[in-house]
Structure 1
Amino acid sequence: DTVQYREKRALPRHVRRAMGLRITAAIGASRCIVNDDVDVARAIGARGVHLGPQDRSPQEVRQLWPEVRCIGATANNLERAIHAVSQGVDYLGVGPVYPTSSKARPAPVLGLEGLRRIVAAVDCPVIAIGGIDSRNVGEVLATGAWGVAVLSCVVAAADPRAAAARMRERIDRCLAGGLAV
């Protein structure tokens, strides 16, 4: 399990660092990926950084932070996925697979077939994102995706800790072949 620290508000860097440190104190730095901000990721000792299309290239990140253990990128179509992999990312966040409310202007929905095409075309782990919950995670994993990233189904739940535990259990059962998709 990994937590991606994704702070999109325009906060001062010292505030973002403090928030990142709080997360790493709770879960351990080896399980934390920071979205977009290499300086914060490096300062808090995170496992790595997740890059968007407007961020630094993986090569620049590796020059700035030679000890980085993991660099990911977002891809919402096959062309972008292939390009990101050619740039040397370690994993891809691919989606949205389903409609999502966690972004103000989400990319067009890929669907299961779009996800399946990307999984087949790249040689790195694919983490499916967007609209994934315990009802559809099995069919998402059946595409060959290496894992899933979830937000709304956990943070919008009355008991987020219990929702996360249920999702983890469902994923484990799907990966073990214990549930029909």
Structure 2
Amino acid sequence: MSVIEKSWYKRPGLLSVLLLPLSVLFWLISTLRVLLYKLNILKAFKAHVPVIVVGNISVGGNGKTPFVIWLAEFLQQQGLKVAVISRGYGGQSDSYPLLVTDETTTTQAGDEPVLIRRRLGCVVMVGPDRQASIKKLEQHDIDVIISDDGMQHYKMARDIECCIVDSERQFGNGLLMPAGPLRETKARLKSVDLVIENG
């Protein structure tokens, strides 16, 4: 963990103050981007099936993948055909989107997509371009897509948003990046469908 990251989980000090102007700039750019999507100036793409986004408003894992697995299992028990998309952090494939199979390695797809595939046996697609991943998924017989992360990816329309909050770290010093760990302000939690406290 870097010096800056360590400062996120302490009371705001000199480093946080010095980084605050960059956080204000980050907020302005993020707010403008969200507004452009709300006004339909920037166009979001919509999948042919419902999309559930599982994400967070802070940097870090926060336990999204265990919840994705639980949610997918629950939906499968209701008789739905579930698919999962992921960016596949840590993986390196020759081409994307990458359909994760039983033979796919963590080197290719990253740890979490391989875990999800082995645990659930469902269709899992990995790639940096979520729209391309979804188009590829729609070639399969599926009823619902779960996006592992992607709350801030407003280019992707979603039907349900689930936000995971780390019960120990919470929101750190409460500041936006880079002065703090937040990708969006805590006010964002008011607009999501479900907030899950992990831990």
Q: Which has the higher contact order (CA 8 A, sep 6+)?
A: 2
Q: TM-score, normalised by structure 2?
A: 0.31
Which one has a bigger Cα radius of gyration? Answer: 2
Q: TM-score, normalised by structure 1?
A: 0.33
